[in-house]
Structure 1
Amino acid sequence: MQTELSVGFLPLVDACLPILALEHGFAEAEGLSLRLVKDMSWATVLDRLLYGHTDAAHLVAPLAIAATLGRGRPAQPLSVPFVLGLNGNAITMRSDLAHRVSQPGKLGDPATVGAALKAVVEAERRHGRTLRFGVVHRFSSHNYMLRYWLAGCGIMPDRDVEITTVAPPFCADALESGEVDAICVGEPWNSVAVERGVGEIVLATAQIWRRGVEKVLAFRESVMEQRRADTEALVRALRKAGEHFVDPANHDANAEILARPEYLDGNAGLIRRAIADQLLLARGGEVLKYPDFMFQHREAANFPWVSQAEWLYSQMVRWDGTGFDADEASRAAHVFRPDVYRSALLGTSDPLPGASSKVEGSLAGPTSVSTQQGIITLENNSFFDGKVFDPTYLATYVADQAKA
């Protein structure tokens, strides 16, 4: 007998693993019947999860922390036993703005693009105009990585530029209408803007933080504990889906599945490009290969590193201006649940890290790490500014950011 689990999602390429776990039978093999519930905004995905209309959700990682800490609404603890993917987002600007800050047809260096953007921001402000950036949610990695990059280039968010919220399916529309000058969004919505000729891709978020955490599988903590066996079965099914997803032999078939009306309702060609780490930066240009633009499966990519949750908390404190709180930091760290991931995969062929936390941004090249089982080599996980985040010194890191 199959046990039903309902999972909310948005029409984004990085919703691929639950979709493919259903479509290719990986969930069924684990005794699960998945029911996928499509929404159009992260706010609605979260509402369904918190009110019990879904059992789990494809969610932007910081939103799971914000809900747990009671940011903007009554606190309700969420748990993340699985990371659905790293990066996969891009910054797309109006074509005229893109040409002022980068070389057409090429992804620019983040520091160089940032310096050029700073000059444009200052020039626009002298004429009484403030540039506006669209992100998919206040509590999103898009928002925090964009802010981290802007601030690192001397552009202060909320003072020098405005940042507003636009749901992913409407990002290209917001750019076309002039509501925003740039968007930071996941695929395929950057490519939709490019194909419509309303914008050009300037940077990938993987250039800001090479292995930045992006979407996660989130449960209400109480539901995950009550349905622990089902949760662990889903983790195993998602790992199998990830293995299938990253195999180039499956790109065409998976793109066709994701493009269906009940999922992304989009262009299979654009979706396949994202799956294959290919980007068309400007309409009529050449397709660019950017390795690891979107990152699943390898290098323990699905492992919920506690240090990733702590970095997100550091940015939440920085940009909300709430101040560091040790108890809050502990609750934020507890949202990511490597113990559940380990329990689900112990004794399988999947490699498991020996640690649950690491120094983020510390690796410039391949490095073998200690494991609980299997072999893991981690590659470049650097931040664009060369800084590192050691979670041992979280309070100091937060204090240093406040001085920047």
Structure 2
Amino acid sequence: MALEKNDIKLGLVPLIDAAPLIVAKEKGFFEEQGLNVTLSVEASWASIRDKVAAGLLDAAHMLAPMPIAATAGIDGVGVPMMTALSLNLNGNAIAVSQSLYWRLQLDELTPISVGERLKRVLEADRAAGAPPRVFAHVFPFSPHHYELRYWLAGCDIDPDRDLQLVVIPPPQMVRALRDGSIDGFCVGAPWGAVAQAAGIGRVVLNKYQIWNNSPEKVLGVTRAWAEAHPQTHLALIAALIRAAQWLDQPANRSEAARLIVEGHYVEATPETVHESLAVGAPGKPENAGLVFHAGAATFPWVSHALWFVGQMRRWNQLPPGIDGDALARASYRPDLYRAAAAQFGMPCPAVDLKSEGQHTGIHTLSPDHTIELGADRFFDGAGYSPS
């Protein structure tokens, strides 16, 4: 079927997990689908949101909760958005300044041990009359924000009383840590590694340690754009699934790093970009590093959307009276994913929901036992059921 639109402008923020968009462009996967794609590197998530809402971008690399917040009308713009494709799992890091790192006197880098030491430092600061420590995340509606709060609260640290949380765009995080305006941050690769390599900060935790194989970025579009361009939308999804499959082949990670560096999509040293893509064992769903396709990583689980809705409620972002289930299902569209995947016979989950926190390694999901999923533990041992 003919595409409604061939010339497409996609936005991305300079992060390693934008790799599916970059690979689909540079390796010709978009072209195979009849798409002529221009990639636009944007300075912040607010810029991505505003330009997609205004139609200046057709679609974009987005934080997984952004379409939910947009559809709920709580993001300051209120243009309903949706996703039918997850771009990756894992990838974030929590880093602290060198001075705070030495104050923590860490014996091991686990969520519980780091949290206990941080709580001790914060209590000592308060007793001395010092101002609250400042930690940054990238956007009010972001996995970074919610996993940071989830970890802090799970370690008996009140993120609204014991700390000051601020928003800083990813490329500016390292500078803010260097100039002392923040004490720590949660940000996507490669910026934690950049801070550590420059001797500005130390990475103390990663996203996988807080919630194994948790969702991170998605392909986001407005609902109106998707309805006006259904075949173009499916073509975008299909091309990005192909790119994700390619990325999770271990032999391709080095080439992906070269494409990111040579295209100047992320202004970091080649060594840092290569390191960010080389973490773990690509192609295996138990990988603690960036996963792009293995373990149904590209599937837009409605249960993931429901978890984010729950965090929005927990932290008083979502007004009462909003139907959380309807919001999640309007924002995450696995039906469209299945339609795109069917074009090349790729198996995908037959259900939209799954539980979290119950699996320590590879497992399969009933009723389809052909798809392997990775570990999904939360650091505090909690379980999550979308029901």
**TM-score normalised by the chain length of structure 2:** 0.93
Q: Report the Cα distance in structure 1 between the residues aligned to 2:275 and 2:24, rounded to whole angstroms.
A: 21
What's the CA shift string for 1:41-64, capped at 9, x where partnerless?
Answer: 100011110000011010111122
Counterpart among 333, 356, 377 of residue 382 in structure 1: 377
Give 1:19's aligned residue.
22
Counterpart among 167, 171, 175 of residue 169 in structure 1: 171
Q: How do 1:2-401 residues align onto structure 2 when only pairs under 5 Å count?
A: 3-101=6-104, 103=106, 108-129=109-130, 130-260=132-262, 262-277=264-279, 291-320=287-316, 322=318, 324-346=320-342, 348-370=344-366, 375-392=370-387
Moved more, 344-353 or 147-156: 344-353
Q: Report the Cα distance in structure 1 between the residues aligned to 2:330 and 2:185, rounded to whole angstroms.
A: 31
Note closer, same or farther for the CA distance 1:186–1:102 as it changes in structure 2 (3 Å cut): farther
Q: Report the Cα distance in structure 2 between the residues aligned to 1:73 and 1:352, rounded to whole angstroms.
A: 35
For the 8 Å contact 1:38–1:262, the answer to whether it is kept is no
For the 8 Å contact 2:83–2:333, the answer to whether it is kept is yes
What's the CA shift string for 1:19-47, capped at 9, x where partnerless?
Answer: 11010001111111111111111000111
Note closer, same or farther for the CA distance 1:324–1:239 as it changes in structure 2 (3 Å cut): same
Q: Report the Cα distance in structure 2 between the residues aligned to 1:39 and 1:48, rounded to whole angstroms.
A: 10
Moved more, 186-195 or 19-28: 186-195
Q: Report the Cα distance in structure 1 between the residues aligned to 2:361 and 2:216, rounded to whole angstroms.
A: 21
* Pairwise CA distance, 1:100: 3.5
What's the CA shift string for 1:58-83, capped at 9, x where partnerless?
Answer: 01111221111111424221110100
3-state SS of paired residue (1:213):
coil
For the 8 Å contact 1:102–1:113, the answer to whether it is kept is no
Letter of the structure 2 residue corresponding to residue 39 of structure 1: E
- Matched length: 378
What's the CA shift string for 1:257-299, capped at 9, x where partnerless?
Answer: 1113541132221111111116xxxxxxxxxxx9422121001
For the 8 Å contact 1:260–1:266, the answer to whether it is kept is no
Unaligned runs of 5+ in 2: 281-285
Note closer, same or farther for the CA distance 1:219–1:72 as it changes in structure 2 (3 Å cut): closer
3-state SS of paired residue (2:139):
coil
Unaligned runs of 5+ in 1: 279-289, 393-404
Moved more, 84-93 or 243-252: 243-252
* Pairwise CA distance, 1:240: 1.3
Q: Report the Cα distance in structure 1 between the residues aligned to 2:225 and 2:35, rounded to whole angstroms.
A: 16
Letter of the structure 2 residue corresponding to residue 305 of structure 1: W
Moved more, 72-81 or 380-389: 72-81
3-state SS of paired residue (2:315):
helix
Letter of the structure 2 residue corresponding to residue 272 of structure 1: H
Moved more, 377-386 or 257-266: 257-266
3-state SS of paired residue (1:320):
coil
Moved more, 123-132 or 76-85: 123-132
For the 8 Å contact 1:353–1:370, the answer to whether it is kept is no
Note closer, same or farther for the CA distance 1:72–1:344 as it changes in structure 2 (3 Å cut): closer
Letter of the structure 2 residue corresponding to residue 54 of structure 1: L
Letter of the structure 2 residue corresponding to residue 343 of structure 1: A
* Pairwise CA distance, 1:135: 0.5
Letter of the structure 1 residue corresponding to residue 222 of structure 2: R
Moved more, 71-80 or 138-147: 71-80
* Pairwise CA distance, 1:306: 0.2
* Pairwise CA distance, 1:327: 2.0
Note closer, same or farther for the CA distance 1:72–1:348 as it changes in structure 2 (3 Å cut): closer
- Provide the aligned C-alpha RMSD in A: 1.9
For the 8 Å contact 1:306–1:334, the answer to whether it is kept is no
Give 1:397's aligned residue.
none
3-state SS of paired residue (2:231):
helix
* Pairwise CA distance, 1:322: 4.4
Q: Report the Cα distance in structure 1 between the residues aligned to 2:75 and 2:227, rounded to whole angstroms.
A: 25
* Pairwise CA distance, 1:323: 5.5
